[in-house]
Amino acid sequence: MRDIKYLQLLAKSFPSISAATTEIINLEAILNLPKGTEHFLTDIHGEYEAFRHVLKNASGVIRKKVEMIFGHTLRESEKRELCSLIYYPKEKLKIIKQREGDDIDDWYKMVLVRLVSVCGNVSSKYTRSKVRKALPQEFSYIIQELLHESSAEPNKQDYISSIISSIVSTKRADQFIEAISNLIQRLTIDSLHIIGDVYDRGSGAHLIMDILSDYHNVDIQWGNHDILWIGAASGSEACMANVVRVSLRYANLATLEEGYGINLMPLATFAMDVYGSDNCSLFKPKANEDEPIKSKHIRMISQMHKAIAVIQFKLEGQLISRNSEFEMESRNLLHKINLERGVVEVEGKEYPMKDTFFPTIDPSDPYKLTEEEKEVVSSLMHYFLHSEKLDKHMRCFFNNGSLYLARNSNLLFHASVPLNEDGSLKKVKISGQYYGGKSLFDKIDKIVRKTYFEDRFSSRRLMGKDYIWYLWCGPCSPLFDKAKMTTFERYFISDKETHKEQKGYYYYFKDNKEVCEMILKEFGLNEQQSHIINGHIPVKTGKGESPIKAGGKLLVIDGGYSKAYQPETGIAGYTLIYNSHGLLIVQHQPFVSAKKAIIDGDDIISETTVVEFNNKRMLVRDTDIGSQLKSQIEDLMALVNAYRSGEIKEAF
């Protein structure tokens, strides 16, 4: 009876044998198309220009398509110009129109034919229906005709030529070039996976989130820096203080002020009043080429940096004290400072402090905020909670993201799975219950979502906000998984032994094939055919380290999009590409600028390594979507049989 009721519902969409069998034929045809190309990126850290260019050139795929289509029929300079036009059509057209002058119409006709050839190639693996849905509305019919009619046929030559001539004569060539170039970019990347850390360091995280919020097919696995912003937007004062501190550390004011309208003036006023006599040299911001700082502003930013750091340590101390389950009492260090002697005790040993000017710390109650500090926290929190743009971007994380994703035989998560010393899954205590492996990830995902959408005055939300902060720096957090975060020590203690952050066991087992296969099995994947894909820990490529671990079972693709990491990695990022032929890792060199790409046709220099090659090309039927389509076909066949047996009547 349940089956009949389900088939009766299905019959409303497919009311006849003809309708059902037509859909079966359509789905069977889709199953035999090549699988769409997936692109995996991680640890973008606000590097907007490099990220945008990697999307525009599809990690070098578009350049390869142009090379394959035109080969030796075009000069190298012409191929560079065509690629640059596809990446930045509006900007490139301005330069070309000045160069061509009165001959621009001839150039238009030539380049339109080339663009249609590229578009035809990148759209060939999709159904006409899918391509049609991606077409820009105003040129939909024209592009369909150009893609599906061949000028090689004698009866169609004049027809195709007439369409192209009309585009030019009606002065619509510029708009058409922009439309078809954007279509090429969209079709080259079928789906985009962001494996964490959109935020912090670089100044364009809000611009990256604008792209992701409107992207045609994207998922985001939350990174530790992302979870910090989620916590701040959820109302966690400790997360908010960390967000502001990290932003000031890298002089990343654009994301806070211009991106989200966070008014830092209350913090600036407080910092100048309290730390006006202090040069705060330990808190001088790190250089940021994208957002140069005037020398007169460095002192003010340094003072703001110190002010929010002290506030952060106080807020964290309060949070740790009310959450004994976190077992982080050793991270409370303010009460271990001896201001008279200028030392601090860490793990039973005293260390000289580089700075002892703490006018807001009361030795008798060091974690208590002053009234002025409370006002600063309240003011900043107000802006975080009422920023519409920030709320939109956080909802993008929830609508398109999660802590992990299992898709097409790949397990995606940002950092780690907490393990024991023997490589087994570690059980982590949350609200009195223990969770490990997949159950831990599912529990955390649930806590984070409920916290963001919970009533702001709910007592459960306080626990959730505190736990989100724990995810940022807690020893058993799968987003951190280190013994401690030594922020205090790095600021105030010279001895670098205190700066060390002991990594969890996952990082020591990342080259162990058996452990990786155990994790894949835990998340329901075939451990023989699947892969784990991570970011978080930069791969020191320049020193010979490989992103391919555990015999290919684990791929760590943090190659240093962030400029802060590039001296360490020796490159400027990785993209992992999973197409119908197999897995490829694309290694990127530093991106100079969009301006150079537009004017000179400069591109990111990329080097491709084949991780896995399939002798038999992967089809849609081999993917997760294919499994869904096959299930739909089975249901439709059952409906057809019900029609033919008379159990359900056709609606003619």
One-letter amino acid identity for 485?
M
Residue 193 lies in a domain: no
Q: Output the pLDDT for position 601.
A: 78
Task: Tell me, yes or no, whether 100 and 159 share the same domain.
Answer: yes
Residues 76-88 pLDDT 10s: 999 999 999 999 9
Task: Tell me, yes or no, whether 227 and 317 share the same domain.
Answer: yes
Residues 531-541 pLDDT 10s: 999 999 889 88
CB hemisphere CA count around 432 (13 angstroms): 0
Task: Tell me, yes or no, whether 242 and 324 share the same domain.
Answer: yes
Residue 515 lies in a domain: no
Does residue 631 carry a pLDDT above 90?
yes
Q: Nearest CA to 376 among 314, 293, 435, 322?
A: 314
SS3 416: coil
Mean pLDDT of 582-598: 87
Percentage of the chain beyond pLDDT 70 is 97
Secondary-structure percent of the chain, ordered helix, strand, coil, rounded to 5:
55, 10, 35
* Residue where one domain finishes, among candidates 138, 173, 188: 188
Other CB atoms within a 10 A radius of the CB of residue 22 amount to 13
* Residue where one domain finishes, among candidates 492, 507, 526: 492
How many residues are given for the chain? 652
Buried b (16+ CB within 10 A) or exposed e, 91-122: ebbeebeeeeeeebeebbeebbebbbbbbbbb
Q: Output the pLDDT for position 293.
A: 65
| Measured distance CA(367)–CA(329) in Å, rounded | 13
Mean pLDDT of 614-640: 94
Q: Nearest CA to 576 among 49, 62, 59, 36?
A: 59
Are 566 and 228 in contact by the 8 Å Cβ rule? The answer is no
Q: What is the pTM of this model?
A: 0.93
Q: Name the DSSP letter for residue 195.
A: -
Distances (CA, A) of 270 to 194, 299, 644: 38, 14, 79
Confidence of residue 608 (pLDDT cuts 50, 70, 90): confident
Q: 303 is written with which tokens? A: 């003072």
Q: Based on the number of CB atoms within 10 Å of its own CB, is 176 exposed (0-12), middle (13-18) or buried (19 or more)?
A: buried
Q: Output the pLDDT for position 572.
A: 84
Range of the domain at 152: 60-188
Are 32 and 620 in contact by the 8 Å Cβ rule? The answer is yes
Other CB atoms within a 10 A radius of the CB of residue 582 amount to 15
Residues 219-243 pLDDT 10s: 999 999 999 999 999 999 999 999 9
Task: Tell me, yes or no, whether 335 and 440 share the same domain.
Answer: yes
Residue 509 lies in a domain: no
Residue 6 lies in a domain: yes
Residue 397 lies in a domain: yes
Does residue 652 carry a pLDDT above 80?
no
Q: Output the pLDDT for position 560.
A: 84
DSSP string, 77-116: HHHHHHHHHHHSHHHHHHHHHHHHGGGHHHHHHHHHHHHH
Higher pLDDT, 549 or 458: 549
Confidence of residue 567 (pLDDT cuts 50, 70, 90): confident
| Measured distance CA(158)–CA(304) in Å, rounded | 69
Task: Tell me, yes or no, whether 179 and 272 share the same domain.
Answer: no
Task: Tell me, yes or no, whether 65 and 26 share the same domain.
Answer: no
Residues 121-162 pLDDT 10s: 999 888 888 898 999 989 999 999 888 876 556 667 788 889
Q: Output the pLDDT for position 312.
A: 98
CB hemisphere CA count around 513 (13 angstroms): 8
Residue 239 lies in a domain: yes
- For the chain, how many structural domains are there in total? 3
Task: Tell me, yes or no, whether 354 and 241 share the same domain.
Answer: yes
| Measured distance CA(43)–CA(414) in Å, rounded | 9
Q: Name the DSSP letter for residue 403.
A: S
Residue 555 lies in a domain: no
Q: Output the pLDDT for position 291.
A: 54
Task: Tell me, yes or no, whether 127 and 184 share the same domain.
Answer: yes
* Residue where one domain finishes, among candidates 454, 471, 492: 492
| Measured distance CA(527)–CA(231) in Å, rounded | 34
Task: Tell me, yes or no, whether 447 and 330 share the same domain.
Answer: yes
| Measured distance CA(473)–CA(484) in Å, rounded | 7
Task: Tell me, yes or no, whether 386 and 484 share the same domain.
Answer: yes
Q: Output the pLDDT for position 37.
A: 93
| Measured distance CA(254)–CA(52) in Å, rounded | 17
- The pair phi, psi for residue 78, each rounded to 5°, is -70, -40
| Measured distance CA(235)–CA(135) in Å, rounded | 41
Task: Tell me, yes or no, whether 64 and 16 share the same domain.
Answer: no
Confidence of residue 290 (pLDDT cuts 50, 70, 90): low
Averaged pLDDT of the chain: 92
Residue 497 lies in a domain: no
Task: Tell me, yes or no, whether 20 and 164 share the same domain.
Answer: no
